[in-house]
Amino acid sequence: MRSSRPTHGAFTLIELLVVIAVIALLLSLLLPALGRAREAGRSAKCLSNLRQVLVACRVYADDNRGWGPALGEPYLALPNWALVVQRYSLREGATPEQLYSAASVLVCPDTALLYGREMTRTYAANATGLAGRAGDRASFDDPTAPAHVRYDRVPYPSLTPMAFDSLIAVPAVGGAPPPTRTASVLDLRNESHRTLRLGDRGARVHGARRSFQMTMFDGSAGAADRVEEEWLAALP
């Protein structure tokens, strides 16, 4: 007596190839979207970090009669701006070894991805007009004339950058930081700072259409691909 149960044939080669083609098509559609979503998440994290950097420096200024933290020297001790940010983020210690960390608001996830290694600082503070040039009132490289900004006297805080994504400095433009940190300060009047430290001439940190992100002195944050003329004014 024959069985009444239905028989099930195996997939034919053509059917298998069709399934594989459909899966490949779906992956080709989904992977770019996932990549863009990851990029958007990293960019959002960077903007959040930059706002927190501004808040920490603003609180320091409020505690110090309007003067923000040092924008260079002392690079390895408080009140250097980056170390102040870490202290106001409740990290314990006073030295770079104690305060810098890969898990930090000082680290842009896209910049860390760009260098392919663990980074501990990827932002630079705006020090335009405080580089020790003729007419400058301070120098971020001179410990006898440290550079501080009067936060309460910045004339257009919503239009004046406070901190940026930065790239690693090279010895030709004044010495390099450790390989886990990018340039710490930027004088936007200096073209080598704009091209090598900020990357406004083709080096892209955030995606194909944007070069760098920044926070303004009022706490707003956004992206740009070039230095605006009004940013070249010396900071107070």
Tell me the pLDDT tens digit for each residue of 81-105: 999 999 999 999 999 999 999 999 9
Q: Within a domain: residue 171?
A: yes
The predicted pLDDT at position 91 comes to 92
Q: Within a domain: residue 25?
A: no
CB distance 183 to 171 below 8 Å: no
Amino acid 89 reads S
87: its two tokens? 């202290």
- Residue 173 — pLDDT band, cuts 50, 70, 90? very low
The predicted pLDDT at position 210 comes to 63
Cα 142 from Cα 147, distance rounded (Å): 8
Q: Within a domain: residue 222?
A: yes
152: its two tokens? 């309460």
70: its two tokens? 């040092």
Helical pair 13-63 and 81-88, crossing angle rounded to 10 deg? 100
- Per the structure, the complete domain to which residue 133 belongs is given by 45-232
Q: Within a domain: residue 1?
A: no
Q: Within a domain: residue 81?
A: yes
> Could you give the 3-state DSSP secondary structure of residue 25?
helix
Q: Within a domain: residue 152?
A: yes
Q: Within a domain: residue 203?
A: yes
The predicted pLDDT at position 24 comes to 80
Q: Within 13 Å and on the Cβ side, how many CA atoms surround 74? A: 9
CB distance 230 to 216 below 8 Å: no
The predicted pLDDT at position 8 comes to 56
124: its two tokens? 């630079």
Whether the predicted pLDDT of 22 surpasses 50: yes
pLDDT tens for residues 174-201? 556 889 999 999 999 999 999 889 977 6
Residues 123-135: what's their mean pLDDT? 95
Closest alpha carbon to 198 in 181, 208, 184, 209: 184
Lowest-confidence segment of 7-11, 29-33, 123-127, 152-156 by average pLDDT: 7-11
215 vs 110: which has the higher pLDDT: 215
Q: Within 13 Å and on the Cβ side, how many CA atoms surround 66? A: 6
Q: Within a domain: residue 31?
A: no
0.85 exceeded by pTM: no
Closest alpha carbon to 235 in 122, 144, 167, 159: 159
Lowest-confidence segment of 12-16, 30-34, 116-120, 127-131 by average pLDDT: 30-34
Q: What is the tally of structural domains in the chain? A: 1
